[in-house]
Each structure stands twice: as structure tokens, then as C-alpha cells.
Structure 1
């Protein structure tokens, strides 16, 4: 795939992590600005997750019917405008609404980037491209909070959303100039009225739904870590808040490294083979994490080792599970990408919510949710392999 297109797809894939992570340092400032507490500000994050889960289901059929470019241009433009609306929000309710609309726009890039990869690549090449896109997914959580914190200190929280609007505008221009339509000219275009039928068919496709669920459950474990690690690192083990980003960055670096290792692994075996292997490594690391958390160590470092194993293994798991799920979906690539993304973020939001609901002042809730996600992902992957090999 040409480097220019790969860079555009990487930028489109970054809408989610940038819009989620960049404004996290501003939560206290937003609470002060709107005379409320941080818990109420978190509603804006929940609204974004809901928008991501729902919006992807809309863009999939649109992308299959009208091509990749037109829905993508509309979504990216909506993201940029909603980001500006968030920057000038006069109330928390306005901000929550703007964040919901921002997600509805931003998820177009996430859905259609996966569909474009499927349009242009076979399953093996797709796994390699998705691994390269994971570089963006790994770097964004490192850089976004740092950039958000710097903007917050220098220009206030509004500057964060202005920067997101400018990023959206830049992506809009790049798509207009350099991203061609990728649906083959001879491919039939399904009517929008058949969208529900497509989704029913995808749910009945055991190969697709098995890999979509196993990848989604692994992403749920990732978001359980994102939701639980600030309390575990900062409050439970006393890591200074300014050093939290370094620990977060080490795990993200492991994720990036393994995503690039995955490109090399494709030389020996295909993505389905590696999904079945790495999902058990992920579960083993998560089980060790839970055992250590239950022992309540006095130091943080025993928890960091299996946690690193969990996060790093996702660099191999997620691109391979995505490539497998999309492998047979040429005519339905948009809808398949949409359902895949919606399942991922629904499971991720559920896992993050569970960590908060189970909070007991220890690291056990975070570890337990990660381990549960790992167990379910391993069982789903095993069942999928059995069902599709028979």
C-alpha cells in the first residue's frame, strides 16, 4: 500500500484515541469551569463512547452503498465542526452533546480506514497493514495526554478542542486530495434498506463474529487497564501524577513493538494461526496479574510485569483478529468494519464500567476484569477454530 495512503489511514484511525486521551488531563479544569465535579465531567467521555458504538453502525452501510469517500468526508467534517462546538461550550450539557456528535463524526474514519484496507489488501497483507496502523494506536495514547497537558497549561482546555478541530480539517483536506475511491468499479452496491439484513448475516457468520468478539474482548481488557490504572498507579501505589505517563508509555511502547513484530511473524504463518497462540499468552499474563493483585504486594513492580505482557500481546492480537474478521467481507467491508468497531467499543465501555463498579480500593477489580476478558477471548477463539475447521 502506498505510504501516502497508509499515513492518511493512520491519521483517520487516530480520531478515537486522540479525542479520548487528549482531554483527560483537563477533567479538573472542566469541573471548575462548569462548577461541577469530575464525575459529572466523565459523562462527556461516556457520551463519546456511546457515539462511537452507534455511529459506526451507520457508516458501514453508507460506505458500502455510496463508496468510501463521500461518507468519510461527511464524517470528518462533522468531527471538525463538533470539536469547535466543544471548544466554545457554555455549559457541561453542551459539551456532552458536542462530544456525542464529535464521536459520530470521528468514527467514520475508524470504520472506513478498515474497509479501505480490506478493499486493497488480501488477508495476509491486511494483517501487516493493520499492524502498521497499530503504531498510531500505540503512539496516540502516549502523545495525546502530553499534548493535552501542555495545551491546558499554556492556553486552557478550549485549546485542546481547537487542536482537534484543526486535526480534523487537515484530515479532510488529505482525503479530498489524496485518498481515491477504493471500492472496485465492478462491485455491486447494496441498497441501504438491506443494512439490517447485512448485520444479521454477519452475526450468523461464525468466522467473522468469532474473531470480532475475541478481538473486542481483548480490547475490553485494554480499556479495563486504561480505566483502572490511574487509581492503581497514582492513588494505591503513590506514583506521582506527572510520572504516570511514563508507566503508561512503557506499556504502549510494548504494544507498538509487538505490532511491528507481528509484521515479521506473517512471513511464517497467517493471522488466524497467531490469534490462536497469542490469545492464550494474553490470558496467561492476565491470570498472573490477577494472582499478584490478589496477594496485594507492597510494591507496584510485581504488577507491572504481567500487565506489560497483557498490553504488549495486544499488538499482535488486535491486528490479526481484525484481519481475520474482515477476510471474507469484500462486498460487505463497510458493514463488517462497522459491526466490528461497534462490538469493540461496546465491550470496551462495558469493561471500563465494570472496573469502576467493582472498585474496592485494591488492584483486584482491574486485574479481575482483564482476566475475565482474557478468558472469554481465549474460549471464543478456541470455539471459533473448532467451528470453522469442521
Structure 2
């Protein structure tokens, strides 16, 4: 494949073994920093003397940081290469995690959760750009499916690990664990992640000028916009579940942190299975299937809200995770296929809008978290409706 500048894509070399694992771990910065912390939300709220909606602000600002950080890190990596911005971001993530561990109040914690996410965004966006630098076509779709599987291990392992940490420490201990994770990933990146964007392929404009130029080109591509909007809406529904599930399952239905972690892990397996093995039809068809599963999940949540029973909400969450796992790798591949010459900016805009959708959904769910699951159901239903409409648009244009 050739870019508008005449360069051939992808770059030489594939992605295998150790490099694939590291890129998957870097992509998982968001779920690692969020899901490890989820079982501790009620305890953190009590310790810091805040409400459920107050502590959920720390999740929302994290989504904002991840979104804004990607919009910055993507163009930086197009201009200066992938390794430098990636390593700087990992250092910021690690230092901010350390400060979070000693936060004296929820406002302080929110500020450094934002900075932690800003640093972690480098892993999310630059890992995608590295994959795009090296791969194209069906192999690209397949690798994003594999990366989604690797990322999906985080929602399975992280809450269980978080619960285990809580048995021997406090919510602060979880942030010390994130310091260790950041240090290990930084060392692995320094040692084993090579530069994938050759100097002659880098954007020679200034960072700000280049970013505006790249984003302008991307936003004039109607199909690209439809793809990233679909991704944002689907992630909004999924992040509504992430934000609301600790209180819906632990506070409303009385699950212990351990049982909550088990349920969350099962849903992670559903997401992982869908991302890895859903191979029916083209990417647009798979996105439509995922949207259909999200509709089924929404109906299950409505039943759960009406009957006040645990079983429907557990099933609905599992189906929602399966639907999102079907959509995620296919929207990512479709978005990055179209603009290989500006993969960093394309990945950044994809991730930025995705996390903007997550932040909006999370704030709306958190606003009514202490009054039952009504706000959770409404937010997921609204995000699902938008996903269905956009999936239909993509299906017609394929």
C-alpha cells in the first residue's frame, strides 16, 4: 500500500512473540489503571470521605486524560518517532501513580489520575500506530483482534488482583502496584520495542501545525468519521458498564469484592472470545453483529431494572461485553487502514473520541449511581441506540 507521499506501507518486519506481548500490555494501560482500581472504589470513597459520585470522578477524569493525551501523543509520534514519546509517557504514568498512592483527598487523587492517564495514553495510541506501521490488510485486522484479546486479559486479571491486594493492603497499595507495572513496562519498552517509523516517513511539520493538518484531513473523510463515531458510542456503553457495575453489583445486589471480580472476569472472557474468534463476514458485518448483541444486553438491563433481580443484570453485562468485543478490533482496523501515512494521528483521533464517549457515559452513570441502576440502564441504552444507527450506516457503505 502507498501513501499520498509515495512511501510504501507497511514497514518491513512483522509483529511476533515478545513484541506482541509488550504492545498488548501497552495497549492495556487504560484497563490496567482502571480495572485494578475498581474493587477498591467503595473503600476509597469511605477513606477519602466522599460519595459514590465523588469517587467516580476519578474514573471520569482518567477517561478525559486518556482521550486528550492520545490527541497529543499521536501527532508527537508522527513527528518524532514512536519510541521517544512512548517512553516519556510511561515515565509520567509511573510517577503519577506514585503520587496517587499518597493522595490526601479525592480532589488531589483526581488531578493525578488525570496525569496518570495522560502518560498512559502514550501506550494506547502508539502501540496501535506501531502495529499499523508494520502491518496491512487482513493481517492488520487479525493483529488488532489479538491485541484486543491481550487487552481483554486485563479486565479478567486486574479486578481479581485488585481484590487480592485489598486483602493485604488498602486502595493505596493498588497504586503502588501500578508503579511497579509502569516500571516494568518502561524497562521492557526501552529494551525490546524498536523504532517503527523511519525518519524519512515522519511528519516534518511542527507538532501543532502537523496535528491540525492531519486532523483536518481525517475529519474530512466521512467514512473514517463514521467508524470512529461507532467506536466512541460502543465504548460509551461499555464504559458505562465499567463505571456503574461496582455499585450496581456490590452496593445494590450485595456482591463481595471477590464475587464482583469473578463476574467482571467472566465478562472479560466474553469480550476476549468475541475479539479473537468472531470471523463471520467482513468488518462491517461484524460491527453490525456486535451492535445487535448490545441491543440484547440493553433489553436484559431493562428486565433487571424492572424485576430488581441479579441474574438478568449478570447475563446482560456478559452479552454487552461480547458485543463490544466484536466491535472493537474491527472499528480500530477500519479506521487505521484508511490513513497509513498518518497512523499516529488516526489512532489518536480514534482513541480520543472513544475515551470522550467513555468519559461522558461514566459521568452520567456516576451522577445517579447511589439511586439504583436506572442511570446505568439509560446511558447504556442511549449509547447502544447510537451504535446501532452508525453500524447501519457503515453496513450500507461497505
Calculate the TM-score normalised by the size of structure 1: 0.90
Q: Does 1:52 align with 2:62?
A: no
The aligned runs of 1:214-293 (5 Å cut-off) are 214-262=230-278, 265=279, 269-283=281-295, 285-293=296-304
Q: Quick one: distance in 2 between partners of 1:357 and 1:29?
A: 19
Aligned residue for 2:32?
18
Query: 1:98 and 1:360 mapped to 2: Cα distance?
Result: 25
Distance 1:239 1:260 in 2: 30
Moved more, 20-29 or 319-328: 20-29
What is the distance in 2 between the residues matched to 1:153 and 1:276? 42
**Distance 1:240-1:174 versus aligned 2 partners, 3 A rule:** closer
Aligned to 1:208, which of 219, 224, 231?
A: 224
Number of residues paired by the alignment? 382
Where does the alignment leave 5 or more consecutive residues of structure 2 unmatched?
A: 1-14
Cα RMSD, aligned residues only: 2.3
Q: Deviations over 1:5-63 (max 9, x none)?
A: 11011110121111112223333444455454554333333322221121111001101
- Distance in 1 (alpha carbons) for counterparts of 2:70 and 2:21: 21
SS at match of 1:332: helix
TM-score by length of 2: 0.88
Per-residue displacement from partner, 1:88-111 (whole Å, max 9, x unpaired)?
334444332222211111100000
Q: Which moved more, 1:90-99 or 1:137-146?
A: 90-99
Match of 2:118 among 100, 104, 108: 104
- CA distance in 1 between counterparts of 2:380 and 2:53 reads 23
2:319 matched to 1:309?
yes
Please name the residue that 1:346 is paired with: 356
Deviation at 1:310, TM superposition (A): 2.0
Among residues 357, 365, 373, which one is paired with 2:383 in the alignment? Answer: 373
How big is the shift at 1:351? 1.4
d(CA) in 1 for partners of 2:147, 2:57: 29
Superposed counterparts of 1:64-143, under 5 Å: 64-143=78-157
Residues 123, 270 of structure 1: alpha-carbon distance in 2 compared, 3 angstrom cutoff: farther
| Counterparts in 2 of 1:130 and 1:288: CA distance versus 1, 3 Å | same
Contact 1:124/1:270, CA 8 A, preserved across alignment: no
Task: Give the 5 Å matches for 1:152-171.
Answer: 152-171=166-185
Choose 253-262 or 356-365, whichever is displaced more: 356-365
Shift of 1:138: 2.0
Q: What is the DSSP-based 3-state SS (H/G/I as helix, E as strand, rest coil) of the residue aligned with 1:183? A: coil
Match of 1:325 among 335, 338, 353: 335
Provide closer, same or farther for how the CA distance between residues 48 and 143 of structure 1 changes in structure 2, counting only shifts above 3 A: same
